[in-house]
Chain A
Amino acid sequence: MTQTNGPASDQGAGHLTEPTSRQAGDSGEPFLVVEDLTVRFPTADGLVQAVSGLSYSIEQGSTLGIVGESGSGKSVSSLAVMGLHDAKRTQMSGSIRVGGTEVLGLSNDRMRRIRGREVAMIFQDPLTALHPFYKVGAQISEAYRAHHDVSKAKARAKAIEMLDRVGIPQARTRVDDYPHQFSGGMRQRAMIAMALVNDPSLLIADEPTTALDVTVQAQILDLLQELQKDFNSAIIIITHDLGVVAEMADDVMVMYGGRAVEYGRTREILVHPEMPYTWGLLASVPDVTADPDARLIPIQGNPPSLLRPPSGCAFHPRCPHTGKVPGDLCRTTLPELTRGEHGDEHLKRCHLPDPSAIYEQEILPEIAPDLVEMTVKDEFPAEVGTGLVEDSPSDDALPKER
């Protein structure tokens, strides 16, 4: 794994991912490069600083998980990639390059040709994301015809093919169903079919399983992974569920208060988290194998105001570890996104001088006592870090819709 650009910083984060042969375009840069992205919304109460100085990149065919709580800027940054913010009500700066094309400030008409074709998106609630008045098939063929000059009959055939591909049974007849005649899982499958009908290079999935039954969630994630291999598209999966990240993502970026606070290879971040907010996220994941009486450990306090963000590190008002930082640094100075203790694949935004020691000695015994006895570095990562888990238990244990 090579880091191509000197000391890690906000800018350097973009080069974190591996430059391999799966390049988009001739420029030699990853398919999607976001650099120093800032998104603000002027409101009557002031300027909402939704995203600040965000940089990341994704290679063709790989998956980035963006994790954070509501208001962390994870959805806002992805909508910016799609150009879905109202230009009149949004201030954006920085750079977003899709396949080498700068899309920030692109005219609406040119952006329209990228949307759906180069970059497609699926949303949290497929019931509200599909138009209730139009047939599912018509909505898919509409997406296809927006970018392909084909007859309605051809587009319909394509819609049937895609519905079949995402595992809708009897696609030939279900193509004429309305969204309300589909189950929740089928609707999200239809959304995926609609997103992939133009074979986009990047699929942004904004909490694709949050609104679904737990039993269906795993099927949708499996489907996404399966289709990712077939279509070789990159995926950004936005979630607050670290379990989803562990299963899906090659890289993970943890966001807090509009900034990346930890960014790196998924196995790295999950095994050696170095930022107290990430620890908090890990601690609040329920563990089915744990003692049923054990209480979840929530992160104290509320998400920061984006109107008047806290000084210094945005997380400091909720951080239980500020005392371990010399001086008043957490409150006064915004930490840079710097290299973690475990190598180049890991960036973190934290002043703590020795985060790994604190994590292993204080946090880990509390959130996963059984893991401490195991040799953490060898056993745990193999399970969570690979990104593409072939035979996840959900595959066999759950009844399939298809």
Chain B
Amino acid sequence: MSTNVPDTDTETHADTDAQPAPQQRRLAKKRERREHSPQSETSGDTDQETVELKVFRYDPEVEGKREPRFDDFHVPFTKGMTVLDALIYARDTFDSSLTFRHSCRQAICGSDALFINGAQRLGCQTQLSDLEWPVRIEPLPHQEVVKDLVVDMEHFYEQMDAVDPFFKDEDVPDGLEEQRQDRENREKIKMSTRCIWCGACMSSCNIAAGGNYLGPAAINKAYRFVMDEREDGDVTQERLETIEAEEGVWRCQTQFSCTEVCPKDIPLTEHIQELKREAVKNNLKFW
């Protein structure tokens, strides 16, 4: 089996702390937007501004939609409007058959990962004012389209299940005693526990496309347990075997596309690299 040697350059990223770079970037963008937005000065004339959406349409059952096409929607733009807001407006005003998943509107349910102007993003978290117009909205690439912007998530869920995504220890609390966990250890797993299962990372990954590679989200889930000091050493051993198997961490080619698109700023590539190192260390133990 060919293996890629972990790229030591990436280690320098390991120490970036609580306010990671993507968040900084977003903040800077917001600031800029507010300063330069025409709305911030006057709201009069610009109320008439409309944003053009080019939305992917497909329905296997409906005449005229069996061949994928793009529909144009012209939505009145208001300050602070997100891609999700615009889609809801288009559906409720122009075409009630326009179909997309969404629920919480606040980047926690992970339902509305979409391919927006060529990048995986959450519709609810993406301000229209941050995008080039017209805005092109497509379903996540590399997943089968069910209808319009809805993709089949089954493969994603199967990969999550494949890493035994649960605490394996069987102990029942004895009275009101919790297991102790160092603040440092909690900090170590913190970013990995932020995952909202949106599937953006998986969709952005060339290696995950079409194959059986576990993918960044599932490996990140494994990382969350491997690094948690509360879980037993034998269990950690089992987990390392899973992530080291053929479809595991060694498939990653450190392209950072997953890290780039993660809406929760999880350093996914970094976590994968760290698990590679853990696996190597673990194997050396048996020499």
Asked if A and B bind, the verdict is no
Q: A residues near B, CB below 8 A?
A: none
